[in-house]
Structure 1
């Protein structure tokens, strides 16, 4: 399966999920990274009309989890998040944020990732690290 086909599949998985609700779209996939965007609007604001930190974390975790799962899917494995750490560095009121998840360490049972979320001017909005555990995937028959 090509990376383009994998992107189509990832975006189809988003139907009827939090990712669809938040408007997250996966846009680019490489051997060790995944990029996605999320609009910043009232749906993802906190009461001060700024991007909610939880929405940033939802974008980061979506990217990190999906990247890990793409990396192990053909092995009949699944990756599940066990830990995410975030630093919110700059506010954002409107526009688009782009997140890039990169695999830092791909072990047999553990993945460690870094996720950077930036605005249209490439300013760093949020920096996250994430740990995913690799488990056996239940095969539907």
Structure 2
């Protein structure tokens, strides 16, 4: 599996934990999702309808060597915020090519399936798919 080093480290952190501790770590990630810059508004961001909570994302891949990700997720949706934060911490600053090479199902390696519903995990897959599509569109078609 080809993962940027920051995302690989997150996967390793989750895989080393018991199921109950994985939920705790996911909630810690939720509290670490950065706020949107004041210049960015949800209206200009792409919604992720696969998520049960309203989440929006935007990608800036103008610099193919260091993609920037933005997420907006409500505080009352800690699971969704946790997923967004994992993707932000794991992919923000990665190259367009590195993001294109992330397997669509990498999140299974986090080991959350035993503690998070498949419907919620589908939300993380939706976020990643939109990130990859936006990166490909903005960077001239880099694809996995």
TM-score w.r.t. the length of structure 1 is 0.33
Larger gyration radius, structure 1 or structure 2: 1
TM-score w.r.t. the length of structure 2 is 0.33
Higher helix share: 2
Higher strand share: 1
Q: Which of the pair has the greater relative contact order for Cα pairs under 8 Å at 6+ separation? A: 2
